Amino acid sequence: MATLFVPGIGADGPDTWPTQSGAAELAPPGDAIYLTLDRDHPAGAEEHARQILATDDDVLDLVAHSYGSVAALLAAAADARIRSLVLFEPACMSVAPDSTAVRAFVATMTPYWDRADDPSLSDGEFAGHFLVAFGYRRPPEDDAGAIAFGRRLRSAAPAWAFDVDPGVCARIPSLVVTGGWHPIYEDIADAIAARGAERRTIPGTEHRPQDAPEANTLLNEFWGSLA
């Protein structure tokens, strides 16, 4: 039995889960594994789902963030070993096709993903367009963090490209947690909750509600409810 922590697009490993990794009070139902995903070549959520399913355990409980939630839902639809899902700020845009916020974001970012292979569009510029679309301030194009983030973004297919099935939440115990800050994630979470997931918000945490101390309480309560 293993509890897999699936990161988003920005970083990997236990450092991506500072509130969970090494926390004495956290009680995952299986051995905690903090995934480092394959990003050395163009690889998106489908490849990340394959990495999840390559884990050699008979029962898998998944905890995923943002883009990693797309991979988690793809994996859950493909393998009965997955017993539960916890999705923090899931970027599963295909589940909310009628959301005004999702449609606007897709319309804004599609031209840039269409140019993902264009060397005249720098990594820093790509990241800047993405962050501005979410309402953040545009970072300098030569900012090292923006460059690394943009490189990861453009190497993977956009989140809306994956037709994930929120119906898995009707048969797998699921919890979706948002930060209460952006309509895209609220609309996605509402759509997933409508298919059977438990829904929680940790206000004031923006895109990383898992970093709040309350997140571990929610995780423990959810895992404790599993049969």
**Tens digit of each residue's pLDDT (9 = 90 or more) over 172-191:** 999 999 999 999 999 999 99
Query: Is 69:91 a contact under the CB 8 Å cutoff?
Result: yes
The residue to which tokens 């990997």 are assigned: 12
Tokens at 222, concatenated: 């959810």
CA-based torsion, 75, 79, 82, 85: positive or negative: positive
DSSP secondary structure letter of residue 164: -
**Tens digit of each residue's pLDDT (9 = 90 or more) over 131-148:** 999 989 999 999 999 999
Average pLDDT over residues 20-44: 86
Integer Cα distance of 206 and 103 in angstroms = 20
Q: Map out the domains of the chain as residue ranges.
A: 2-97+161-224, 100-155
Integer Cα distance of 45 and 122 in angstroms = 23
The predicted pLDDT at position 227 comes to 67
Q: What is the mean pLDDT of the chain?
A: 94
Average pLDDT over residues 107-131: 96
Model pTM score:
0.95
- CA nearest to 95, candidates 125, 115, 72: 72
**Tens digit of each residue's pLDDT (9 = 90 or more) over 56-83:** 999 999 999 999 999 999 999 999 999 9
Q: Which CATH architecture has domain 2-97+161-224?
A: 3-Layer(aba) Sandwich (3.40)
Query: Is 172:83 a contact under the CB 8 Å cutoff?
Result: yes
- Of the listed ranges 34-43, 91-100, 205-214, the one predicted with least confidence: 34-43
